[in-house]
Amino acid sequence: MISVLIIGFTTSSVHGKEETCYQGLQNVIFKPQTIFDKNEPGFSVLHRWANAIHIDTKKFTLENEAAFFIEKCDKNFADMAELERHLRSRKYLRDAKVTSDEMVENITVTTWDNWSLMPTISFGRQGGESTYSFGIKERNLLGLGIDAEVQTYKNSQRKGYKIKSTLPLFRKKNIDLKLRFADNDDGTQQSLFLQKHFASFYTNHAYKIGFNEESRNDTIYQNDSELAIFAHDISFKNAEYAWLDFNNSSALLRYRIGMTQDQHTFSSVDDIDNNISSALLPQDRDFIYPWLGIDYIEKNFRKLTNIHLITQIEDFNHGWQFSSRLGLSDGSKENNAWALFQANIDKGFEIHDKALLLINIALNGDLYEQQDHRLLLSFNTEYFYNIDPNWGFYLSNTNIISKNQYLDQPVTIGGDTGLRGFPLQYQHGEHSVRFTSEIRYYPHINLFKLFDLAGTAFLDTGKAFGDSVTENNEDTWLYSVGIGARLYSPHSAGNHQVIHIDFAFPQSDNQDINGFEIRVEAKKSF
C-alpha cells in the first residue's frame, strides 16, 4: 500500500505543467577546481601529490546537483546565492561561487573540491568509555558525488562493522538512494531509503520512501556503571510526499503527508548476567499511523565565519523556521498511541555586528488511551560574541522537560551530553539543565594547508532533576573545567571535520570519578 501511495503522488503534479522557457538566453558554465591552488603561498610537493591522485568532481556531477537552477527561467541573484548554499552543503565541495555578467546572461559556477578519500583512524575516551574506529571513506567516488564508507568500530554501546553509501541517481531531479548495512556483536542492521529532495525553494515536490530493520542490545548507564542491558528490535517503514504551497522572496510554506510504521520491541538479554528488573525494561511501542506535516521557512540568510567551524564560510538562516507533524492512530490497540506529534522551531538573532544568538525549540509527544501520555520538550540556546579577530566568547544552555519519557531514551546529564570529564549518562531525571561557557582563541595558524588551529578554555555545569528509576549517587550540580585544542580540516569531506582534544577536570565528591580526563574525538562543530 505504501509503494502504491508514493507512486500515485509522484506521477501527478501539484502545480500542473512544468515551467518552460528558452534556456539559451542564460548560459551556465561550470568550472570545478581541484583541492589545492598551486598559486597560493605554501603550495608544496605534498599538495601537488594530493591534487594528482585526487579525482576532481565531474562537470556532469555538478550539472546533476544544479539541475533545479539550470532549468529555472529568469535566474536572478537570489537564485545564484541559493545555488551557492546548496553546493557548499555537499560534503565533497569546500566552497562554491556563482557569478554572472550585469545582464545575468552568462553565469559561471566555480567550485573547489575537498579531499574526499579518507582512511578513518580514531580512538579516544568519552565519559570513561574507550572508543575506536578504523575504515575508509570516499565522499566523491570517481568524481561522481557518490558517498561510500566501510568501517569497523567500537563505541559505548557496541562494536562491529558497517557499510553505508549515498548514491545520486543522475536523473537531474536531486534524487538519491541511501543504504546502510551493519553487523555488530549484538545484532544487525539493514536500511534503504529513496529520497527526492527539496533542492531549491521553488522545487514543487519531494518524496521519501524506505525502511530500517535493526536488532541490537542497548546499554543504559548511571552512576558510572551499567544500569541495564536489554535487547532492542526495530522495524521502521516510512513513505511521505511533500509539496510547495507558496514561495516568495521572504518566505515559503510546504505541506507533507505520509504513512509511518515504527515498532520497537524490548526483551531481556539471555546470554549475559543482566537480571534486568521489570522497572528498567522499556515498554514495547507499536505505532502505525498516517500523518500530516507543515514546514514554514522565513528567508534571512547570512554568510558567517568562526561560528561552528574555523575560518570557513558558514551559511545561516536567521529567519523563523517552523516544522510540525501530527499523526493519528488506533489508540485502543496495545502499545499504540492515538496521537503522535512533533514540532521544531529555529531562529537566529544578529544582536549586533559582533553578537549572534541561535535558538532551537523541539517538542515531541504521544497521547494514549490506556496509559499516561508522554511529553519531551527541549530548549537550546547558543550565544556567540566576537571580541576581536583573535578572541571569541561562547555560551550555550540546554533545558529538557519530560513526562513519562521512554526508558530506552532517558533524560541524563554526563559526558555524552556536554559535561566533559564525567561518565556517560551519569545523572538521570525527568528534567535537565546544562550550561557551557568557553573563551575561544583563533591564532590564524594553518598547518601545511591541512588544519586550521584554535584553542579554548571551558566551564561545563549541569544537573538532572526529578524522579528516576534508580537514585543518583550525586544529586547536586555537576561542574567541569578544562582547556582544549581544535583542529579543523577545511579540505576534508568528512562528517566530523573538527578534531577536539580536551583536558577536562571534573569537580565531584565521588571518589570513583577520575579528576582528570583526556578526550579526543571528532565532531561536526567547534
The strand order across the sheet containing 27-33 reads 27-33, 106-113, 93-100
One domain for residues 106 and 125: no
In this predicted structure, what is the pLDDT of residue 22?
52
One domain for residues 329 and 237: yes
CATH number at residue 196: 2.40.160.50
End-to-end Cα spacing for the chain: 45
Residue 98 lies in domain: 2-113
In this predicted structure, what is the pLDDT of residue 26?
77
In this predicted structure, what is the pLDDT of residue 495?
64
One domain for residues 107 and 123: no
By C-alpha distance, which of 204, 214, 192 is closest to 241?
204
Cell triple for 152 = 569497523
One domain for residues 397 and 311: yes
Of 73, 91, 113, the last residue of a domain is 113
Angle, vertex CA 510, rays to CA 509 and CA 511, nearest 5: 105
- Residue 29 phi/psi, 5-degree rounding, is -115, 130
Side chain identity, residue 513: I
* DSSP per-residue string spanning 408-442: TS-EEESGGGT-TTSPTT-EEESEEEEEEEEEEE-
Of 60, 78, 113, the last residue of a domain is 113
By C-alpha distance, which of 56, 50, 64 is closest to 92?
56
In this predicted structure, what is the pLDDT of residue 271?
64
Kindly provide the b/e burial profile for residues 164-185, where b requires at least 16 CB atoms within 10 angstroms of the residue's own CB. Answer: bbbbbebebbbbbebbbebebe
Q: Which DSSP state fits 366?
A: E
Tell the burial category of 16 from Cβ atoms under 10 Å away from its Cβ (0-12, 13-18, 19+).
Answer: exposed
**Which residue ranges of the chain lie beneath pLDDT 50?**
1-18, 23
**Cα–Cα distances in angstroms (integers) from residue 81 to residues 172, 252, 272, 340, 487, in the given order:** 20, 17, 56, 37, 29
Return d(Cα 399, Cα 395) in angstroms, integer: 14
One domain for residues 132 and 33: no
One domain for residues 45 and 8: yes
**Cα–Cα distances in angstroms (integers) from residue 481 to residues 125, 307, 376, 383, 439, in the given order:** 17, 21, 29, 19, 12
Return d(Cα 311, Cα 306) in angstroms, integer: 5
One domain for residues 183 and 36: no
Spatial contact of 338 and 328, defined as CB atoms under 8 Å apart = yes
One domain for residues 10 and 103: yes
One domain for residues 127 and 33: no
Of 67, 84, 113, the last residue of a domain is 113
Looking up cell 538566453, which residue turns up?
25
One domain for residues 494 and 401: yes
One domain for residues 40 and 128: no
Looking up cell 565531474, which residue turns up?
58
Tally the domains of the chain.
Answer: 2
* Interstrand relation of 225-247 and 205-222 (parallel, antiparallel or unpaired): antiparallel
One domain for residues 27 and 167: no
Can you give the length of the chain in residues? 526
* Interstrand relation of 187-196 and 106-113 (parallel, antiparallel or unpaired): unpaired
